[in-house]
Structure 1
């Protein structure tokens, strides 16, 4: 893409911002603390969040998720909402739809499912950081490796823009309604 997704410009209801600022503002309205995992040397705007730096670039989302889960566990939380920065239309309704089942069911992971799993839009038990550490030590890098090994509950949801992720500026244009772009 040639551009860091986190700092990709996004023009939403509250004006011009970046993808990371947009996602943090949505998550922050339901979750505290908000932790952002950033690549080494990655430039980010000032955020109302704690920034944790990966030590190595390009090792996949599993290691970063484990780092965030460990920090959330150390903050005294039993569960954490884990999401990607490339979900510009994420809503609090998605978080709320997962939070209720996460509290009631006792599953390790609660994911939205709309015909496919959304690994980076789910609620994870923070104690899973130990499982993540073991998986990474054994060479695993994918979120699927984690959710396939623990008690995972999938919440069926309709396909919706809130679960869309973007990888390029063209992807962003295709998911953002014209009135927001």
Structure 2
């Protein structure tokens, strides 16, 4: 059987692209779309920066401002989906996750690793999403108190590769990541 039909190698490819997204600022997996459901039940998607990927833990990690809308959404429904399109291997990666929100002393070690220039992304007055009278009527705070780590516990990984022929597989944590082929 060729590598093209090796489901374990397909999962390896997905994890390779995810971990590259953490290490390489130019990698496609660096900026996944992060989708949640608002407290009103409406879909929300935004781009985030992938800060961690652990195959052994079955997690990926992103950082956010604790005052952002996604926090209220995740408190109402702790599920999120991350979606990546990686052009080079023509690979779509979809991660369905259950998210743990961590802040304060629990993430102090992570804050120490955030470059000074990037700290400006955490904390604003007024809080993100507040209506303001003009484009610059806010202050960035660079506040450790607003720095939030979202640990996304992966429940399933869906990979779809648009090569000839197309191939698609789904891997679930509850099944030990064995995976099964699906029609693309």
User: Radius of gyration: which is bigger?
Assistant: 2
Q: How does the TM-score come out when normalised to structure 2?
A: 0.29
Point out the structure with the larger helix share: 1
Q: How does the TM-score come out when normalised to structure 1?
A: 0.30
* Bigger RCO of structures 1 and 2 (CA < 8 A, at least 6 apart): 1
Point out the structure with the larger strand share: 2
